[in-house]
Structure 1
Amino acid sequence: MSQSIDRKSVVLIHGWGGSAQSVWNANGWFDLLRNSGFDPVGIDLPGHGDALRSHDPAQYADLASEVMAQLPNDQALLGIGYSLGCKILLEIEARQPGRFTALVLGGLGGNVFAPEALGTVVAQCLEEGIPEDSPPVAKMLARYGVSAGNDPLAIAACLRREPNPVLTPERLQAVECPVLLVSGDADTVAYPVDLLADSITHSSVEILTGIDHLHLPENKDFMAAALRFLAAS
């Protein structure tokens, strides 16, 4: 008689400008998790991937609630996030402590408490085309969002939303589950991670040498660290 296997669900949430397909599936995360005994559940952020694509910034006023409505009903969820997806996972756990039993957060550090500084510039690039004199980082982010197959006006509207999630060290005290923070030391967006790590009660940190923000999801060391952490949770 075959024995049923209890496969834990792992919710994967991408960052701004990506999608579940471009960030997770295309980089092999879904296959990796399935082969390791987990059940991956990729969720597209509003305005991204296969989610509803509105051009109205008001439709992005509460990203976390939109994601919460799509979470599996499992009692013991695991989560992996990248960039903005990390903030969404932390927001959900802060609202509902214990919703996750462990979180792996890639590409988030001190920037968790900072506004999205280039949001307006990147949104203009997406709406009007990329001017030659745009900051190189803004050009890179605009091209990244389009290359993932997203609607430029929808992801621009997401950037123009009222700031959310808004996390503070005080709110993060509600996060009960263990959290692994993974960042590359060449990640000028997220590094260093100390301020975030110090704000989470049960946090650990893994720093990857020579990895920048956009190349983190494809990094094999990130994948290995995530699997080790989830398997021990």
Structure 2
Amino acid sequence: MGISALPSFQSDGLTLAYQVFGEGRPVLCIHGFASSGKVNWIDTGWVETLTGAGYQAITLDNRGHGQSDKPYDPERYYPQDMARDAVALLDHLGIEQAAVLGYSMGARIAAFMAFQDEERVAAVIFGGMGMNLINGLSDGNDIIKGLSAPTLAELTHPTARQFRIFADHTKADRQALAACMETSRQPMARADVRRIAAPVLVAVGEADDMAGAPEELAALLPRGEAFVIPKRDHMRATGDPKFKAAALEFLGRTFPNFSQS
């Protein structure tokens, strides 16, 4: 049985897929590299958590991922452009302002969105992204090599193996992912981070060696706060219950739903 097509919208000449769940104040969920709206947010229970708390959860398949178009040109994957995709989805849905929840690459996209279109972003959660928002991702070239390798067996770099296994598990287009990795990891300027006006929760796993320190990034943000997800690495922090609880507590203070306000 084939996968049923998701609703879609147009952005920058691309057709991108999305889903909307529940009612209430909107939370736009932007997934990480090699993932999708389903894998990152539905399968991990985030959509259920958000809708159960009275929010509307909106998931987006980033360009190059899920059911969205997958260009092979690295020039199509800068985070500024993917942030514009997220704003285009809000436009498509007629939403003036939303909270944004991003994980890993999705957190980087959320940061650029909050900087470029600050009036559209009420509050932001950076999951799996600390100071490497500014410092960049040191393992990026190894991940590209891992995605391009003929087989998993010849890979020895642990991060490259990790993402190759994940990409194969999600049946992702590895050529599109390699193109995405070239440019989507572009760092954000420290001065731009300091100009993000929205309240931001920086949530990083205690054993996450890919994200960078959450406390340092939170200290640079005008309204930043840090949360360490206990005993979790980059991959296993995504659906962690303590992460969800911290996110709901943060949203309750900065973007309360109608029953809370």
Aligned counterparts, 1:84-95, within 5 A: 84-95=105-116
Amino acid at match of 1:67: A
Distance of 2:40 and 2:183 partners within structure 1? 22
In structure 1, stretches of 5+ residues that fail to align are: none
Distance of 1:141 and 1:77 partners within structure 2? 30
8 Å CA contact 1:180–1:204 kept in 2: the answer is yes
Aligned counterparts, 1:59-98, within 5 A: 59-61=76-78, 62-71=81-90, 72-98=93-119
Q: Please say which of residues 149-158 and 82-91 is displaced more in the overlay.
A: 149-158
The secondary structure found in structure 2 opposite 1:206 is strand
Displacement of 1:101 in angstroms is 1.1
Partner residue of 1:20 out of 17, 37, 43: 37
Distance of 1:94 and 1:50 partners within structure 2? 27
The secondary structure found in structure 2 opposite 1:85 is helix
Q: Please say which of residues 125-134 and 144-153 is displaced more in the overlay.
A: 125-134
Amino acid at match of 1:135: H
Distance of 1:206 and 1:194 partners within structure 2? 8
Deviations 1:171-212 (A, max 9, x none): 122211111111111011124223211210001111122111
Q: Aligned residue for 1:187?
A: 208
8 Å CA contact 2:63–2:82 kept in 1: the answer is yes
Aligned residues: 228
Aligned counterparts, 1:80-229, within 5 A: 80-129=101-150, 130=152, 132-161=154-183, 164=186, 166-229=187-250
Displacement of 1:114 in angstroms is 2.1
Q: 1:170 to 1:101 in 2, by over 3 A?
A: same
8 Å CA contact 1:93–1:174 kept in 2: the answer is no
The secondary structure found in structure 2 opposite 1:218 is coil
Q: Aligned residue for 1:53?
A: 70
Q: 1:41 to 1:162 in 2, by over 3 A?
A: closer
- TM-score, L = length of structure 1: 0.90
Q: 1:167 to 1:191 in 2, by over 3 A?
A: closer
8 Å CA contact 2:105–2:184 kept in 1: the answer is no
8 Å CA contact 2:23–2:56 kept in 1: the answer is no
Show structure 1 runs of 4+ deviating over 6 A: none
The secondary structure found in structure 2 opposite 1:53 is coil
Q: Which has the higher contact order (CA 8 A, sep 6+)?
A: 1
Considering only aligned residues, what root-mean-square deviation do their CA atoms show, in Å? Answer: 1.9
8 Å CA contact 2:147–2:160 kept in 1: the answer is no
| Percent identity (aligned) | 26
Distance of 2:184 and 2:251 partners within structure 1? 33
8 Å CA contact 2:146–2:155 kept in 1: the answer is no
8 Å CA contact 2:30–2:106 kept in 1: the answer is yes
Q: Aligned residue for 2:12?
A: none
Distance of 2:62 and 2:170 partners within structure 1? 13
Distance of 1:229 and 1:194 partners within structure 2? 16
Q: 1:162 to 1:180 in 2, by over 3 A?
A: closer
Amino acid at match of 1:111: N
Displacement of 1:23 in angstroms is 0.8
Displacement of 1:127 in angstroms is 2.0
In structure 2, stretches of 5+ residues that fail to align are: 1-21, 255-261
8 Å CA contact 2:98–2:122 kept in 1: the answer is yes
Q: 1:67 to 1:76 in 2, by over 3 A?
A: closer
Distance of 2:26 and 2:155 partners within structure 1? 45
Q: 1:133 to 1:142 in 2, by over 3 A?
A: closer
8 Å CA contact 1:109–1:193 kept in 2: the answer is yes
